[in-house]
Amino acid sequence: MDLLGLSVLALALGHVFSNAVRTVPAMAADVLQRDLGLSAEGLGALTGAFPAAFALAMLPVGVALDRYGVKRTALALLGVAAVGSLLGAVASGPWSMLAAQVVLGVGCSGMLMCPITYAAKNLPPQKFGLWGGVIQAFGNTGMLLSASPLALLVDHAGWRAGYVACAVLALGALVAVAAIVRDTQAPAQARRSVAEDARDVIALALSREIRGPVVIAFASFAAVLGVRGLWGGPWLMEVKGLPRVEAGHVLLACTIALIIGPAVAGLLERRFQQHRRGLLVAGHLGGAAMISLMVLGGALGWGVAADALLLAGFGLLISLQVICFALVRAAVPPERVGRALSAMNISFFGGAAVLQAASGAAAAAGGIGAALMVFAVALVACTLAFLRMPGPR
């Protein structure tokens, strides 16, 4: 592998960390609620602070990627992320955990955008879709750490040890980026202020060229975070009655699918570029169907094997979300790609913040099945809205 590939993978280590740390609650929800004095609704609202802070930070991150370069932006964010993990490890109540989630959200806000932007600036467009899938697949291995390994760690050392392990991972990624990445010089900004750059991010989000991906993205990552990152573990432990470690084993089905799926999606995007919108629609409607069938199966008494299959199907189908990045990359020139991708990522994580909070309220009113259905409904609604949006000129 050449230096460009190694640089992309070094930057993607931050995405590995991000996926690990934001899915900690899936395997530790019960002990987090007990130790921090939280209800299910409170846990949903508190963990929703992570994507909310993430989305708010994407505006300056998008500007920084184009103005200051990828490497410097990544190093700064990895340092913030390590601090956020340590704050999570020492949290003693809802407010201190809220602070940790906010700091983590800010630190993780560029963990996907850094390798994606680096690839977009240094690779030809025809290779970008494939590498986008590789980045997502590699980054999603972080979820492996928060499945069975985290379940074992929580059982033996407590949930705080999970945040300490994540802090070590963030520092390791920081060292790798510092040692390997050779960033290209950020282009000179023609007398543009930071405020003008920020306004450009907002204008891009509303533009005809990327409006469709922005709309479907609102529910896309929210569903991943809701199913795999928060409610999947409680569903298996509380509704299906599985012990923590066995629930972690079942969640591995979804995690492996989320690792394999993006790479497959990247290959499909490259092979069927003329049908990218159709693939994106099929993946999101299929993901909604998998969630709905899992909730229906809970009411009908289906076994855990059915959940494992449906979670794997969900992971494979929703992974077609990587096509959003290819659509955005194809719509803008290289000098604006950091801001354009960040504009879409604001929707990715802003939607996660809104829908995660809504799922907490749904869980309080109707149980974990109702919380999961929030994401299924949102996927259908945003996909139908996407179909009504015009494609790029």
The pLDDT tens digits of the residues spanning 220-240 come to 989 988 888 778 888 888 888
Is residue 30 within 8 A of residue 239, CB to CB? The reply is: no
Distance, CA of 43 to CA of 194 (rounded, Å):
36
Q: What is the pTM of this model?
A: 0.74
pLDDT at 354: 87
Query: Where are the strands (E) in 98-234, listed by range?
Result: none
Domains of the chain: 3-181+195-388 (1.20.1250.20)
pLDDT at 172: 95
Render 44-69 in DSSP notation, one character per residue: HHHHTHHHHHHHHHHHHHHHHHHHT-
- Which residues of the chain are modeled with pLDDT < 70? 1, 26-27, 40, 125-126, 129, 146-148, 184-195, 197-198, 335, 390-393
Distance, CA of 356 to CA of 26 (rounded, Å):
13
pLDDT at 288: 96
pLDDT at 82: 96
Ramachandran angles phi, psi of 188, nearest 5° = -65, 135
How many C-beta atoms lie closer than 10 Å to residue 95's C-beta?
11
Is residue 139 within 8 A of residue 232, CB to CB? The reply is: no
